[in-house]
A = this chain, B = another copy of it.
Amino acid sequence: MSKKLPKRSEDYSAWYNELVKRAGLAENSPVRGCMVIKPYGFAIWEKMQRALDDMFKATGHQNAYFPLFVPKSFLELEEEHAEGFAKECAVVTHYRLKANPDGKGLIVDEDAKLEEELIVRPTSETVIWNTYKGWIQSWRDLPVLVNQWANVVRWEMRTRLFLRTAEFLWQEGHTAHATRQEAIDETEQMLQVYSDFAENWMALPVIQGLKTESERFAGAEETYCIEALMQDGKALQAGTSHFLGQNFSKVFDVKFVSKENKLEYPWATSWGLSTRMMGALVMAHSDDNGLVLPPKLAPIQVVIVPIFRTDEDLKKIKEKIDPIIEEINALGITVKFDDDEKYKPGYKFAEYELKGVPIRLGIGMRDLENGTIEIARRDTLEKESRPIDGIAEYIKDLLDTIQQNIYDKALNFREENTFSVETWEDFKTQIEKGGFVLAHWDGTRETEEKIKQETKATIRCVPLNSIEMAGKCIFSGNDSAKQVVFAKAY
């Protein structure tokens, strides 16, 4: 066990970076902006994937896989889309290296230049809608409800593990519908799926809303999002669902014969959630001792550390604990018994704390005599000694309690850090302190931009489920129909 983590209160950013590395989640690679997702981090991501994938399938979606490369000419077709992604993309120009005739090593073979450059997909609307042209002819072919799990590349200049990386992993859903309303319903349904996932699995309360025009996905008519608040008072966009209108069907000339025998363009949606959520998970719940994982996403939910001096002692502990491990497993709980003699119990305790294992059980010789076991909760850091009888059922309930407690704590934090302001002065003061700031905005791009320039705050969303209540824009004083959510953001 190495030295302590930086404290959140002293250097939140350093705390995050160190924690991600030391807990074995991810590390930087020698390839600029690309990360290595380490086994423990990947195990959490796999749990996220499984939960989301089940939700996608339950809502009628199927997975498929589309090419990594997008021909440059595809990207050019949708103007806003091109503008949004051309500035930060990895461009493949050649398909061969050759031995360097002047010496050692390899050089690009200029004879192997591609006629048309290929872009490593930053997102797949273009390549997928080009494919849909072959899939959609009649209303009978609709809806198309497809998702893909994939890697994408956006050449970000300033990167940060999970939160902003050149390559990241995500899922991207791409659907096609016969009517505008059906596509809007799908967009909203998938936002709800993301919201349920964030709240029920990640224990992360989120605000559902619409992005303003300037924050919309390049090529979308409307972008829905969920926004979460991190412990440093900054917002993090946690998933987006886009209503694309007929932009991509028109550009790729995808048409279908409707029930009324008319030729029409289908309506599109796309929606994505990425490994960025790993960053949100860390930032929302963890503390100065390390990760705090919601039980539903913890690769190890319960760890049992035996405290023993002799092999004889270990044998006795095992005899007592083996049937209990079986019981715990039978309840569908992932449990690890760590009798590795390379490390001392104290080292192990700190290690599992760092890794955010929700429940730690300790059992030594005195416990055997007394029929007890020590239970330590990661979320509250509370310890108690309990009768070993009935411990499996107790743990099952405790995991639910922990899941709920982590959510409640995050919700409570968000409520304490959400402020409603009416004046420009109050706005500036509050934005500086952090948190979600609800304020009236006149709806213009100009005002939004000026507020951003002066305070670095952006409109995170126009919340979906808030009450309309007229007021005056904090910046321009013009009329406003409802408050929007401002924050500084990741």
Contact = CB atoms under 8 A, between A and B. Distances in A.
Contacts of A89: 95-97
A332 interface: no
**Chain A interface, DSSP helix/strand/loop, else mixed:** mixed
A108 interface: yes
A342 interface: yes
A392 interface: no
Interface in A312-371: 342
29 contacts: A27-B131, A29-B67, A30-B127, A31-B69, A31-B118, A34-B69, A36-B64, A36-B67, A37-B64, A39-B146, A41-B64, A42-B62, A42-B64, A68-B120, A72-B97, A72-B106, A75-B106, A76-B105, A86-B106, A90-B92, A90-B95, A91-B92, A91-B95, A92-B93, A93-B93, A96-B155, A97-B117, A97-B119, A151-B151
Given A89-B96, A97-B117, 4 more contacts: A39-B64, A90-B118, A91-B95, A91-B96
Nearest to A146: B39
A65 B36 contact: yes
Interface in A62-95: 62-76, 82, 86-95
B39 A63 contact: yes
A66 B72 CA distance: 26
- Name the residue in A64, A65, A93 with the highest tally of chain B Cβ atoms < 10 Å from its Cβ: A65
- Name the residue in A69, A120, A150 with the highest tally of chain B Cβ atoms < 10 Å from its Cβ: A69
A43 interface: yes
Interface string A96-107: 111100001110
Nearest to A53: B46
Contacts of A130: 29-30
- Name the residue in A99, A120, A150 with the highest tally of chain B Cβ atoms < 10 Å from its Cβ: A120
A253 to B, nearest CB: 13
Given A63-B46, A95-B155, A167 B88 contact: no
Contacts of A93: 91-94, 108
Nearest to A149: B149
Interface in A257-302: none
A67 B31 contact: yes
A35 interface: yes
Contacts of A96: 86-89, 91, 155
A153 interface: yes
Contacts of A456: none
A5 interface: no
A71 B33 CA distance: 13
A117 B86 CA distance: 19
Interface residues of A, number: 66
Nearest to A167: B68
A70 B167 CA distance: 13
A124 to B, nearest CB: 11
A396 interface: no
Nearest to A152: B68
Contacts of A108: 91, 93, 117
A134 interface: yes
A38 interface: yes
Interface in A12-60: 27, 29-31, 34-39, 41-43, 45-46
Contact of A67 (B34, B42, B66, B150): B34
A29 B90 CA distance: 20
A89 B82 CA distance: 26
Given A72-B106, A89-B97, A117-B108, A65 B169 contact: yes
A127 B31 CA distance: 9
Contact of A68 (B34, B73, B104): B34
